[in-house]
Amino acid sequence: MTSGFDRGIDVSHHNGDVTWEKVKSAGIKFAVAKASEGNHMEDSKFVVNFNGMKKNGIQAGAYHYLRGGQTAESQVAKIKAVLQKVSFDPDKDVLVIDVEEKGNEKVKSAGIKFAVAKASEGNHMEDSKFVVNFNGMK
């Protein structure tokens, strides 16, 4: 299949061990790895996945799964702590905030905007390329 778009993937611990050399040879140009969820969870495969992307010349990104019942400040602290474990480059790497309905029934528009504003502040994120993914929100 040929198109004008680059192909990319997202990965997490649910994918098990990723062979990044094979991902690269399959023509994948970019990837985002789950870094954290809420204020309580760091993805167990994040560091190895992020480093695997970088080592193989794949445009790297990280994503945080936003939880509606937790404060923006506590989630931003978690994101920052996890990103400090890798060579996250805010000039080159992408940070994605993943907002989905499951587990986020309490998330309101203003809360999301606040979380986005807070996540783009401070260490490792002030100049980041930043994306918010809304999936299944009504």
pLDDT of residue 105: 59
Decide if 52 is inside a domain.
yes
Weakly modelled stretches of the chain, pLDDT under 50: 1, 110, 123-124, 126-127, 136-138
pLDDT of residue 90: 83
Q: How many domains does the chain have?
A: 1
Sequential DSSP letters for the chain: ---SS-EEEEE-GGG-S--HHHHHHTTEEEEEEEEEETTTEE-TTHHHHHHHHHHTTPEEEEEEE--TTS-HHHHHHHHHHHHTTTT--TTT-EEEEEEESTT-TT--HHHHHHHHHHHTSSTTTTT-EEEEEEES--
pLDDT of residue 76: 85
pLDDT of residue 72: 80
Decide if 2 is inside a domain.
no
pLDDT of residue 2: 55
Q: The domain containing residue 114 runs over which residues?
A: 7-135
- CATH number of the CATH domain containing 13: 3.20.20.80
pLDDT of residue 123: 44
